[in-house]
Amino acid sequence: MKKKLSDQLSEKVIINSLLKKLNFNKKGTFNFENDAGYLSLAKHYKTIVTTDSITENIDFFKNDPPESVAQKLVCVNLSDLSSMGSVPVAYTLNLSINSKININWLKRFTNKLFKLQKQYNFYLLGGDISKSSELTLSANFFGKAKLKDILSQNKCSVGNDIWITGNLGNSYLGYRILMNSKIKMSNKDAEFYKNSYLYPKPCMFGSIASKYISAATDISDGFYGDLNKILNNTVGASLIKNDFFISNNLKNIISSNKSKISIEDILSWGDDYQLVFTANKKFKNNINNLGKKNNIKLTNIGTIIQAKGIYDDSMNVIKNPSSYDHFS
């Protein structure tokens, strides 16, 4: 029988055995031997701060691999930083651990964090550990950006192009598969979409294209809802068509499962962690070239217009576009 956390681990053991490797020996961490740490940034940079929490049975399933939980926690925060035109620097980690978590789970979780830190170039600054009836993990991420490069959600102008990165809907389909929805597809496709849900990847295009972007937000709560954040009830959007954002493979799966999955479901779902952003039309070539250079799919999906609301390509109002809400 595996020993539980309460049987063999203490806060000191978790810090010394599992977490210290994540501080990358940065001076400001004091090797986790002080009550707090400090963050140093180069001159002319501003600190961008974001925080997110994920909770078992709400943001992930109780049997999800610890590597998946780590990836989701990092992804939700890096996606926020990207939408602000920022790159990550450091983070603090708060672990509220239930009695079912054992040392093997924590090792796998922290090993995945280590790999992600190496991939995206950030380190653990500090944090807190506690016991809880629910497994909850939260992180405060600190990024950096020059003042002129910091993006916001509501600085678009009439006539701006509307763009999205990547494909939407992959995470939604993965979730449906894990919920045992009987959707017809090949085993290979099923594995791909499940991994899209379990191991989301943040799109960091905002941090490399900020000088061309007028407004941006990440697509974490559903496309319609996140686009509405940019519109801010002051302007509107005219969209070219409603399937611009999904892959041809997903279109074929929808066509074969019309009674079980729809475009509207995908548009209202979150967890894609792509970006929706606006830009002056004069930057179209610059944006496309930057996407090609960094192997990031970009699609120009419409235009910001004066009339409030979201419209299709025939200027019909898209009624009641919904999105994810933690309290609904």
Give the per-residue pLDDT at 313: 80
CA distances to 71, 100, 135, 251, 271 from 202, in Å: 10, 29, 23, 23, 10
- Tokens matching residue 296: 């990031």
CATH 3.30.1330.10 residue ranges for the chain: 5-149
219 alpha carbon, distance to own chain's centre: 7
Give the per-residue pLDDT at 2: 42
* Spatial separation of the C-alpha atoms in residues 239 and 81, rounded to whole Å: 26
Q: Provide the CB-side half-sphere exposure for 201 (13 A, CA).
A: 13
Q: Which of 7-16, 125-134, 213-222, 268-277 has the lowest mean pLDDT?
A: 7-16
CATH superfamily of this structure's domain 161-311: PurM-like C-terminal domain (3.90.650.10)
pLDDT, tens digit, for every residue of 269-289? 888 999 999 999 999 999 999
Give the per-residue pLDDT at 321: 59
Phi and psi based region of residue 268 (left: phi greater than 0; alpha: psi -120 to 50; beta: remaining): alpha
- Tokens matching residue 281: 């039309």
Tell me the range of 36-45, 88-97, 99-108, 319-328 where mean pLDDT is highest. 88-97
Q: Kindly state the DSSP code that residue 31 receives in the 8-state scheme.
A: G
Classify 5-149 by CATH class: alpha beta
CATH 3.90.650.10 residue ranges for the chain: 161-311
pLDDT, tens digit, for every residue of 158-203? 999 999 999 999 999 999 999 888 888 999 999 999 999 999 999 9
